Chain A
Amino acid sequence: MKLEFTDDMREILEEFLIEADEILSNLDQELIELENNPEDKELLNKIFRGMHTLKGGAGFLNLTTIVEIAHKIEDIFNKLRNDEMTLTPEMMDVIFEGVDKLKEAIEMLKESDEIPDEEDIKDILQKLSNILEGKEALNSENNSSDNQSDTGLEKEEKDIEFVEGVDEDIKKLILQFKGKDLGEILEEIILLPPDERPPLDVIEKLEQLIVEGKDVKDLIKSKENIEIENKKEEKKEIQKQESQLPKKQEIKPTKEEKKEVQKKKKQEKKEEVIRVDVERVENLMNLVGELVLDRNRIVKLASNLEIKYGDSEVIEELIDSITGMSRTVSDLQDAVMKLRMQPVKKIFSKFPRIVRDLAKRLNKKVNLILEGEDTEIDRSILDKLEDPLIHLVRNAIDHGIEPPEERIKAGKPEEGTIKLSAFQEGDRIIIAIEDDGRGINVEKVKKKAVEKGLITPEQAENMSDKEAFELLFMPGFSTADEVSEVSGRGVGMDVVASTIHALRGTIEIESEPGKGTKFIMKLPLTVAIIRTLMVGINERIFAIPLYSVVEIVKYDAENVKKVGNFKSFMLRDEVFLLFSLSELFDMEDSSKKEFIVIVKVGEKNIAISVDNLFGEEEIVIKPLGKLLEEVQGIAGATITGDGKVVLIVDTNSLINDKKTQLVGVL
């Protein structure tokens, strides 16, 4: 069904879409939690409210089919929370189906201003209705059915007695929206479609009451107060007010206090959150980047000035104030960086559902443990992490976790465990996926790699286990039959690895046969600003990201040996492959090699010889532009204090073109 929106409506639509996304993405997790804990009232209420909000918003925009589905689900949860129904696994599946339909509808709406036709949702509506009716039949012995369809409104109506002088319209509203406070009622009726909305003067009256600090409990006299309050889970305040309410005359002295409470409530409800366009944050980030560069420039100039003119008082003052400014710029940089940070929860929350569905499909029992969901990471990194993580989790369920029978035979608990965890370590975020499945069969991996011609049998022979695991990340390792299975979504392990590398992260595998497998990803906190080591070669300067620098030592010709086509460098008891930076960049080899920088390339360490070291610098990464985006070994460039462009070394792709010759040597 195609829809038309006016500009005003479109604005509301945008808001609605954001809200709907939030509700639906939380919903998956809440539903899974509910599956483990079907009696959790708080959770049931939360889901009910989410559906309710969704329905309201959709109703306002006249998104009929969305309203219908949301309405049905809302009804189900209303019954669940009122103990009129108990949740069964079969119901859960239908509810999931309904939620998926809603997600689908929201996506359609986003992409093409369309919502599903009545015809498309008939099925799911019927299924949802079946749930509703099926249970009603059972309950009808106790209650009359029309009573239920209206959540027992009529019955409860009798319990409410209004205090004198309450406006008739307001009375009606309170009855209609039982259990809600005036603010909530106002919200409700604003969300109603225009033709169902009460006249404007009623809304004004309602607003007036709210402004006066009155609420439902001030307008009615009965035990109902307590119930209303109960629903709002604010037991402490009830106790206070319970004793005051029956005697209306005495309310005055406490009014101030109540106003306070109400104000507080309002504040608590309104989360202190503003939504900001990503573009604006990006823009801010760029500006801060420029500021960082300018600061570097000014600091450099000031120190030149100091060298040239010595300790003059003015220069001292200048340097003092520059130091102050430097600190503020650093703080600003941190603050802006934080704006871009989002908790990994955003993608972790999708996994309970994925694991549940997949385990069901593969007849496996899997328990998912999430850890460190509040760990924050740069949004652009987070967005790119989703697919690799999904791939790894699917892999873990598909290939890692054994079927229940096999697990029992192996003396393991029937239910497999997958742990998805995140935590911060220095300026890196560590994300790990761990399963207690069968582990990786090293011999099988080697065999396959030999078959595929990725390595020679001799290389396979000499390979350590860790090196063999690396083979999984090589392009062309994943086979077609794997792709057709659940694990494949067209993304191979090589894509996982290259995505992580493109984010300037690393990925490692630990695995023990029979015990399980662990993938460990280390990612930078942020994308735009990094610390680098400035090195010189052939009179040119390059920046090596500090996270990949393991160690720096003096060049010592005695420890350099020739091994076949390559050179090696001995440091303590370890042997590293040695290159000069100029060699890696196909430049003439410079004559003087003064230092050796041990860097991490992928998961290996290699030694790179350079002519000079110029110390550490914090730099802003800038792209080289579309024309040069695929240059191997260069991650981007930065502009230094004197306005010159310095290239940033991408250690991960640095030896890509030598990799085929290096398998087995590395």
Chain B
Amino acid sequence: MSEMEVVGIKEVTAEKSTEKRLITFKLNDELIGIDIINVVKITIDMDITPVPKTKDYILGVMNLRGNIIPVVTLKRKLELPETYTPTRNTIIVVETDFGNIGLLVDKVEGALNVDPENVQPPPMNSIGIDPEFIEGVIMFPKENEDKELLTILNIKKIFKADNL
């Protein structure tokens, strides 16, 4: 779907089919989403081998179906505080220009369809993430409470040569 937009025929298919599918997860209390197109696999409690002499956001490496991939503590990469430490390690494996990379997140919430029309540009300093890494935000209605903010990350930008 989003591929179609890239090609620039958004207007033609501007109805239901433009919906974007996201994988949503929690970092501390924030709800974060990434495009499902980038997601390769979600794993829980994998063994992670630390690698010495690397940047502090590199947690280590893990075995993904016989291939070795690096695992990044997403909170550290985004310079978010580590106020909450989960008991299980949940890793979302994403595809980047640097090959597959595992992202350590607090908890996976699920998959979600959103209408790109509802996506708003990133507000300045919304939750302390560099706006460059944010594709947009959605005010996401909740039943009992007020609205909740969903921040959509741009994975390709986070793992770009200049930003590593």
Contact = CB atoms under 8 A, between A and B. Distances in A.
Interface string B136-159: 000000000000000000000001
A91 interface: no
Interface stretch (A263-271, A356-364, A640-648): A640-648
A626 interface: yes
Interface in B33-70: 47, 49-54, 58, 61-63, 66-70
B99 A634 contact: no
Interface in A601-647: 622-628, 631-634, 636-637, 639, 643-647
B22 interface: no
A649 to B, nearest CB: 10
A90 interface: no
B63 A645 contact: yes
Given A622-B67, A623-B68, A645 B47 contact: yes
B contact face: mostly helix, strand, loop, or mixed: strand
Contacts of B63: 639, 643-645
A506 to B, nearest CB: 23
B18 interface: no
A392 to B, nearest CB: 32
Given A624-B61, A644-B49, A645-B61, A631 B66 contact: no
B98 interface: yes
Contacts of A585: 52-53
A196 to B, nearest CB: 50
A645 B102 CA distance: 14
A587 interface: yes
Given A627-B101, A639-B63, A647 B49 contact: yes
A110 interface: no
B31 to A, nearest CB: 26
Given A586-B52, A586-B53, A631-B54, A625 B62 contact: no
Interface in A332-389: none
A510 interface: no
A540 B50 contact: yes
Contacts of B47: 643-645
Nearest to A642: B47
B24 interface: no
B98 A639 contact: no
Given A643-B63, A645-B63, A626 B49 contact: no
B66 A293 contact: yes
A645 B70 contact: no
A587 B68 contact: no
Nearest to A286: B66
B54 to A, nearest CB: 6
A627 B66 contact: no
A102 B101 CA distance: 47
B164 interface: yes
A561 B47 CA distance: 39
A637 B70 contact: no
Contacts of B66: 290, 293, 639
Nearest to B66: A290
A541 to B, nearest CB: 9
B52 A625 contact: no
Contacts of B164: 627
Contact of B51 (A290, A293, A624, A639): A624
Contacts of A643: 47, 63
A625 B101 contact: yes
Nearest to A620: B66
B100 interface: yes
A627 B99 contact: yes
Contact of B70 (A586, A627, A632): A627
A646 to B, nearest CB: 7
B53 A625 contact: no
B68 A633 contact: no
Given A643-B63, A645-B62, A625 B51 contact: no
B49 A634 contact: no
Contact of B68 (A586, A625, A631): A625
Interface string A567-601: 00000000000000000011100000000000000
A633 B53 contact: yes
A628 B61 contact: yes
Among the interface residues A623, A626, A634, which one has the most CB atoms of the partner chain B within 10 A?
A626
A115 to B, nearest CB: 37
A644 B52 CA distance: 17
Nearest to A587: B52
Interface in B66-86: 66-70, 72
A625 B70 contact: yes
A643 B46 CA distance: 10
Contact of B52 (A627, A633, A645): A633
Contacts of B99: 625-627
A433 to B, nearest CB: 34
Given A627-B164, A633-B53, 15 more contacts: A540-B49, A586-B53, A625-B98, A625-B100, A627-B72, A627-B101, A628-B70, A632-B53, A636-B68, A643-B63, A644-B63, A645-B47, A645-B49, A645-B61, A645-B63
18 contacts: A624-B61, A625-B70, A625-B99, A625-B100, A628-B51, A628-B61, A631-B53, A633-B52, A634-B51, A634-B52, A636-B68, A637-B49, A639-B63, A639-B66, A643-B47, A645-B61, A647-B51, A647-B61
Interface of A: 290, 293, 540, 585-587, 622-628, 631-634, 636-637, 639, 643-647
Which 4 residue pairs of A and B lie closest in terms of their CB atoms, listed nearest first?
A585-B52, A645-B49, A626-B98, A627-B98
Interface of B: 47, 49-54, 58, 61-63, 66-70, 72, 98-101, 159, 164
